[in-house]
A and B are shown apart, each in its own frame.
Chain A
Amino acid sequence: MSRPKQMTRAVIVGHKSILKETIDALHDTNLFHVEDFVEDESGFKISKPFKNAEEVSKKLVKIRSIANYLGIESKKPVVQKSDAVLRELDSKLNELDRTISAKTESISQLENELKDMDTQKKEVLPYLPIDLDFDYFRGYENIKVFAGILKSNLEASQISSITQAYELYFDPQSKAVVLFVANNDADKVYELLQGLGFKELRVPERGGVPSELLRSIEQKEADVTRRIESLKGEIESLKTKYADFILASDEVLSIESQKAELPLRIATSENAFIIDGWTPTESYDRLVSVVNNATNGRAYITNLEVREEEEENAPVEYNNSKAVAPMQQIMDLYARPKYFEIDPSSAIFITFPLIYGMILGDIGYALILGAMALAIKKAIKSDAVADMMNILIYCQIWTIFFGLIYGEFLGFPLASTHEEQGLLPFWHTVTLFQSIGGEAFTFPIHRAHMVMSMIILSVVVGLIHLNLGYVFGFTNVAREHGMKHALLEKGSWMIIELGVLIAAIGYVGISALMYVGAAVFVIGIVMLAMGEGIAGIVELPSLMGNALSYARIIAVGLSSIYIASTVNDISFSMIWADHSKIGFAAIAAIIVFILGHALNVALSIIAPGLHALRLQYVEFFGKFYEGGGRKFNPFGYIRKYTEE
């Protein structure tokens, strides 16, 4: 249990001549959350960006469009000196821009050529069956040429009935036709052809036999495609050559542009500037010394007293140890805590993996998932992924712990029960005591054999979890509105629970306690009505719903066991069916075994994870959490590819 980092509101004032130094210093420390200045009647105005801003952002756009075009992704950083990058930036950027645009231009030219050739090919193709040189098609004074396609067949006799002066080429299969007739007869012949559904086709302008033309076009096509491929390869090699440079210069330019545009967010008069913002209280002294060093003490820094209504608006930075830090991802998924709220990261650091482990509770799956998480963490260098994998690893530690308690390995019982042999011959189930509904409470716990006890156990875990939520809520309300409110709003719930508990003990044993319990219960309800009014009473049944909701711990766990043991049953019955020789059944059994457990491994991330998460968000957070804090977003940049 911790609270977000305490924040100090700081104001930096100075002469405009030292604005640049101040901004550089603030950017380097990466500790100051700048509050945007809103123009009012005070006479201060927002300033203009630095002179180089336009140039920097132009270059930034260029470099990002190049990076986008080349498909450059962030990767393991090669750290470069930022001033060296800046020195080379202009020449390299121009060179890169030139080569890429030259290459893309020739690629688009070549692609146009390809399109042209495609149309040429389409023109030639219909004439292929006739295979007559295209030069013969034109240049006559007294002869008319009909070239095209017919719908139905054409017999030579049909033309000879009109005229004897003709030359006919006709391919009955494709119905391509080329017909030479004297000009005098052309009209009649045209009528005949129209009757047969004649469609004129363009005659290619080049001379030559169609089959040869086609071959040469195809050859050229292959040639052009090859050239395009090689150009694309060259662009690809540019990508590997310049990737480091592009990533580094993107970073350097981003930093420059952030610095150049900060004046747009601060208040300035003719000669002075004011930067207003927040810094973690622990870092305030460092901020002061860094700014003083950069400006030779000419900037004036002071911390302002924070009024209560301003405090609500303070940016929120988590204050967690390194081990707990991954849980902040889970918190941010829901909502960042408010500044004055308890940050429950350290609570869910324990409860989330614990409930996950209680649900899954299988040594085999824990080992598989743990190994997977470690491998992914090694392979993908990304902070977000690393955090997620760390959470998964925490979960697996608890899963192994509960796996030992449940004695389960890939759905097999490790210890023997009364009727059947377990995987480990020396491990026998011990009966500890008789519990609810005639079920024997044993170690290891066979979940499928003692469902009722497990349901009650899960609900008890849930009640503990819920009451932790009430305690958090209590401290939140006590801090904000005082002890009396806290007692009425959150304490009343705990008193109601206490009343029910006493009454339950009375019901089982000492009957006098039943009246005491009822009295405590009524006191709790009166307090609740005073604290939250009628709305609190209406919500009373939800307490039971919340507690019963924890029964999912056993319910989801059972579903995982049943899937696993079904897979085991199927594959083992296949192997034992014919164990005289290793045949098809044995191989199929292995495939069923692997695929079935792979499916269950995937489900083992999703189902317990989601349900454990839900118990945190809905049942636990509902008791105390508000959320909706503003993220602490310091002015600065975390360098990955460059250094000063």
Chain B
Amino acid sequence: MVDGATANLFLDAAGAKAIGASIAIALTGIASAIAEKDIGTAAIGAMAENEGLFGKGLILTVIPETIVIFGLVVALLINSA
């Protein structure tokens, strides 16, 4: 059994915040990466057919970046709370 006091030993408030922030960043980062991977592969495939699609492909590839930005915002909110 772990009582409150022992838990506090491992997780003081600042530590818990830091871990929360890091989870927010890490998971959203992975999520963006997975999404961008798929889009990027498709974009390269499209570019092989038609080089003019570079601009569109580039923009489509950064679209999932919003996910990690949300993570970053949440991390900043946790940190300043």
Which residues of A come within 8 Å of B, CB atoms? Answer: 333-334, 437, 439, 451-452, 455, 545, 548-549, 551-552, 555, 610-611, 613-614, 617-618
Contact = CB atoms under 8 A, between A and B. Distances in A.
B11 interface: no
19 contacts: A333-B55, A333-B56, A333-B59, A334-B59, A439-B80, A452-B76, A455-B73, A455-B76, A548-B73, A552-B65, A552-B66, A555-B73, A610-B62, A611-B62, A611-B65, A613-B59, A614-B59, A614-B65, A618-B63
Contacts of B80: 437, 439, 451-452
Given A437-B81, A545-B66, A552-B69, 6 more contacts: A334-B56, A439-B80, A452-B80, A610-B59, A614-B62, A614-B65
A427 to B, nearest CB: 26
B26 to A, nearest CB: 16
B58 interface: yes
Interface in B59-81: 59, 62-63, 65-66, 69-70, 72-73, 76-77, 80-81
A551 B62 contact: no
Contacts of A548: 69-70, 73
A455 B70 CA distance: 11
B75 to A, nearest CB: 10
Contacts of B56: 333-334
Interface SS of A by simple majority:
helix
Contacts of A451: 76, 80
Contacts of A617: 59
Interface residues of B, number: 16
Interface SS of B by simple majority:
helix
Contacts of A545: 66
Contacts of B76: 451-452, 455
Contacts of A613: 59
A551 B69 CA distance: 7
Contacts of A333: 55-56, 59
Contacts of B62: 610-611, 614
- The 9 nearest A-B residue pairs measured at CB: A333-B55, A552-B69, A555-B72, A551-B73, A610-B62, A549-B66, A451-B76, A452-B80, A555-B69
Given A333-B56, A452-B80, A614 B63 contact: yes
Contacts of B65: 552, 611, 614
Contacts of B63: 614, 618
A355 to B, nearest CB: 14
A111 to B, nearest CB: 33
Contacts of A555: 69, 72-73
Nearest to A545: B66
Interface in B22-81: 55-56, 58-59, 62-63, 65-66, 69-70, 72-73, 76-77, 80-81
Contacts of B77: 452
A617 B55 CA distance: 12
Nearest to B77: A452
Contacts of B69: 548-549, 551-552, 555
